[in-house]
A and B are shown apart, each in its own frame.
Chain A
Amino acid sequence: MPSTPAESSHHPADSAPDSSPTRRTVLMAGAAGAVVVPALSACGGGGSSDSGGGGRLRVGVAGGSAQDTLDAHQPTDNTDIARCHNLYESLCLFGTDYTIKMALAESVEVDGDAKLWTIKLKKGLKFHDGSAITADSVIHTLRRVTDPEALSTSSQQLSTMDRDNLKKVDELTVEVPFTEPYVTFRELLAEYAMGIVPEGYDPEKPIGAGAFKYTSFTPGERSLFAAFDGYWQGRPQIDELEIINFPDETARVNALIGGQVDAISQLPHSQLEVVKSNGNLQTLESETGMWLPFTMRVDKKPFDDVRVRQAFRLIVDREQMVDQALAGHGSVGNDIYGRFDPAYDEEKLPAQREQDIDEAKRLLEEAGYGDGLEVQLVTGPISAGAEAAAQVLKEQAAEAGVTVKLKQTNSTEYYGDNYLQWTFAQDFWVTRNYLSQAAQGSMPSAPFNETHWADEEWIRLIKKARATVDDKKRNEIIRQAMKIEHERGGYIIWGFVNTLDAFHSKVKGLEPSVTGHPLTSYGFHRVRIEA
Chain B
Amino acid sequence: MSRLILHRLFYGLLTLFVVSLVVFLATQALPGDAARAMLGRNATPERLETLRAQLNLDDPLALQYGKWVAGLFVLDFGDSYANALPVAEYLGPRISGSLTLMGISAVIATPIAVLLGAFSALRRDRAADHATSLASLVVAAVPEFAVGILLILAFATGALHVLPAVFAGSAGSVLADPVQLVLPVATLVIAVSPPIIRMMRASMIEVLESEYVQQARLKGLPESTVIWRHAAPNAIGPVAQVIAVQLGWLAGGVVAIEFLFGFPGIGLALMDAIATRDIPVVQAVTLLIAMVYIVVNLLADVVGLAANPKVRVSSR
Contact = CB atoms under 8 A, between A and B. Distances in A.
Interface of A: 1-2, 4, 9-12, 58, 60, 65-69, 76, 149-151, 153, 156, 218-222, 244, 246-248, 251, 254-255, 257-261, 274, 410-413, 415-417, 419, 447-448
Contacts of A261: 168
Contacts of A415: 32, 36, 40-41, 43
B183 to A, nearest CB: 10
Given A221-B170, A260-B164, A416-B31, A65 B36 contact: no
A285 B37 CA distance: 31
B166 A258 contact: yes
Interface string B250-286: 0000001001111010001101110111100100000
B82 interface: yes
Contacts of B61: none
A258 B164 contact: yes
B165 A66 contact: no
B166 A4 contact: no
A415 B31 CA distance: 10
Contacts of A153: 42
A412 B168 contact: no
Given A66-B83, A67-B38, A67-B82, A221 B171 contact: yes
Interface string B29-47: 0111000111111111011
A66 B278 contact: yes
Given A258-B164, A260-B166, A10 B261 contact: no
B123 interface: no
Contacts of B82: 65-67, 219-220
Contacts of A12: 41-42
Interface of B: 30-32, 36-44, 46-47, 50, 80, 82-83, 85, 90, 152, 156-157, 161, 163-166, 168, 170-172, 180, 256, 259-262, 264, 268-269, 271-273, 275-278, 281
B189 to A, nearest CB: 20
Contacts of A413: 31-32
Contacts, number: 138
Contacts of A219: 82-83, 85, 90
A153 B9 CA distance: 50
A258 B42 contact: no
A305 to B, nearest CB: 29
Contacts of A255: 164-166, 168, 262
Q: How would you classify the secondary structure of chain A's contact residues: helix, strand, loop or mixed?
A: loop
Nearest to A257: B157
A156 B272 contact: no
Given A76-B38, A218-B170, A415-B41, A254 B281 contact: no
Contacts of B44: 151, 156, 447
Given A248-B259, A415-B36, A10 B42 contact: yes
A307 to B, nearest CB: 31
Contacts of A244: 168
Nearest 5 A/B pairs, CB to CB: A10-B40, A254-B165, A67-B82, A66-B82, A260-B168
A350 B171 CA distance: 56
Contacts of B273: 66
Contact of A246 (B161, B163, B171, B262): B262
A66 B80 contact: yes
Contacts of B271: 1, 4, 247
B50 A76 contact: no
Contact of B41 (A65, A248, A251, A448): A448
A1 B256 contact: yes
A277 to B, nearest CB: 11
B290 to A, nearest CB: 18
> In this complex, which of A12, A149, A218, A448 has the most chain B Cβ atoms within 10 angstroms of its Cβ?
A218
